[in-house]
Chain A
């Protein structure tokens, strides 16, 4: 471990290295892309010039080369997919209106109705236009890939014939799918599903960040259309200039600040609390270790919506905890622990504190569960040597136990920090983001305990400020991505991903 520390000191600081790496990565990306595109074009030209008449035909009619080589089924599949693509481009009405519409997200005015579902002319609903525009782009990319693969397959058959082999039969192609092309068979379902339900929606939301799509604007302007606005929405967050108005700037920074404070406090309270609890349970001479552990693990095992809603009711103004405290005369007026209710005036401090405490109740057992195993793996001779040298228990904890555990659990610490930045359930179920802040602002309602993610939820679901929500989502992504990249790319798990087998 001493070696690891020494090694670390020699390296330049991680942030500087991070930006250097990013620069290098971007440079490499474009260089590789350039080389790749060049190679593709060279290959492409070579295939066209060198290929048989069938291959040449394949550039226009997919599968022609396969027919030429009597690969009937394969050729027919390529042809069918081409026909399907053409039908899709010609017949799908939403797509049909798109190529022009997508540029401006709908010609404004000209007698079109929009997003309320009463669209009378295809391509008039800007949301669907944007969505199907993306679908079309993906379909076109897929078709280009299909086109290239058809040419390639035909050229491969050419080469086979030229070298005196028989072109592969359909049966052989199928067999290859179960052997050296097994990854194609295995990854196709995931790729299709992920493109449709993960990548497409993500790109759609990223696009929304560059549009004027929000319910407030549309109602104010009496229009059902929206259009591209470039980086205006991002600028609005920092400068308050743009169609999003000045209020988003006033809201964004308090929410961002609290998100960071929350993530740091929540991560470290749970982390060190969990280590201490694990030490306590694993202490020599403590009996029934399993029973103690199970008691604490119960809070992890119970679905969060149950345990958090229970907590919310337990801490309610009229809830049992207040009742008990009142009966014991510890307090003489009920405390609104979570700042619930619109008439709450007690400030944000108590709800924030309560959230962090309740989060400890949820989170400490997690760390305890994770670190228990690690604590038992600390080499016993370290402690023996320390005892011989006359080290005290506290000293041993700070000099042996803690460094060891921190060293081993750093990846877990980072992932739990990111998890806390995105910790939706805790905030949403306990306070719903409240208490309401009364500062005269009317839009972008963020409560006192709202994190970026809960605010994002409110912006998109209840306020329907879709573009603002998308901007916030992108900022959240940038924050988590930066943290992940800095730490993860430097970790052994990433660098030696291939070697650990």
Chain B
């Protein structure tokens, strides 16, 4: 590629290169637009459904059986009905489900964050007998499919009278949280051990090191852990359904309620627009939380990869 040989052709070559680049750029943009449309369409559709204000001749809602992709009449009646109407005789079902979920997720968030951080700190910064054994056991236990022990947890809660009870659900969600310490441990590992050692030389106890040095440096991971355990109960519906039972709609969490609106024995397909409205209301906070903590999420998932 010495310039003296290429000189006569330089201008022409440069121009053709530029053209090729422009073509590839245009192709890329077209591809991106098409792909984005494919990815956005289902989401757009469910949002549109929630604003659909059409009724059958009989006065009933239009359900999933729709006549067009875009609603012919826009309105917020589905939202209004969602908040005011009853579900199979349960008054104000949706606000109640929101309240239930909020209670469960706040409790889970507090308990899980505490457990996860305490275990992660021990595993990362303290050295003691059985440390490696604890880590191996927690990994092995984590490899059993969660649904396997679900029924056993149900029996266990039933034997102490905690099924059909939100407290039982909180226990079931947060009790095992401490075993999921790996992401936070990865974070603590990166905090220099020299900090801990010099604090020790100054006479700090391990508790003080944790409280005064490690925790203030760990805001991102605290936020990440808290948000992850907070959003969990909003997304799970299997565990909640098994523990809370089909017969008690007043105890359901939001996801169980929404699922049962259109599937299962109590489903009413005509409630589809209302279901869509519920989905939008649940999705908005969760999506915004996720967007906010995207960075931490990637760091958490790739933590193993970075080291590997």
Contact = CB atoms under 8 A, between A and B. Distances in A.
Contact of B147 (A182, A204, A457): A457
B118 A370 contact: no
B262 interface: yes
A159 B242 CA distance: 55
B203 to A, nearest CB: 10
B134 interface: yes
A411 B305 CA distance: 6
Interface stretch (A59-67, A219-227, A489-497): A489-497
17 contacts: A128-B159, A182-B206, A193-B176, A198-B179, A205-B152, A281-B32, A286-B28, A292-B36, A297-B290, A301-B291, A303-B286, A318-B64, A374-B302, A461-B242, A476-B145, A491-B308, A500-B307
Contacts of B190: 501
A359 to B, nearest CB: 13
A342 B152 CA distance: 31
Closest 7 A/B residue pairs (Cβ): A190-B178, A473-B148, A201-B152, A197-B175, A182-B206, A201-B149, A301-B290
Nearest to A203: B152
A411 B308 contact: yes
Interface of B: 1, 21, 25, 28-29, 31-32, 35-36, 38-40, 42-43, 45-46, 64-69, 114-115, 118-119, 121-122, 126, 128, 131, 134, 138-141, 143-145, 147-153, 155-156, 159, 171-172, 174-179, 189-190, 192-193, 205-208, 210, 231, 234-235, 237-238, 242, 255, 258-259, 262-263, 272, 279, 282-283, 286-287, 290-291, 294, 297-298, 301-302, 304-305, 307-308
Contact of B39 (A189, A205, A361): A361
A89 B32 CA distance: 68
A428 B239 CA distance: 13
A90 interface: no
B13 to A, nearest CB: 13
B144 A473 contact: yes
A227 B293 CA distance: 50
A484 interface: yes
B151 A320 contact: no
B38 A361 contact: yes
A415 B141 contact: no
Q: Provide the main secondary structure of the chain A interface.
A: helix
A318 B63 CA distance: 10
B45 A412 contact: no
A496 B39 CA distance: 40
Contact of A412 (B114, B118, B302): B302
A286 B25 contact: yes
B178 A411 contact: no
A374 to B, nearest CB: 8
Contacts of B159: 94, 128, 131-132
Contacts of B31: 280
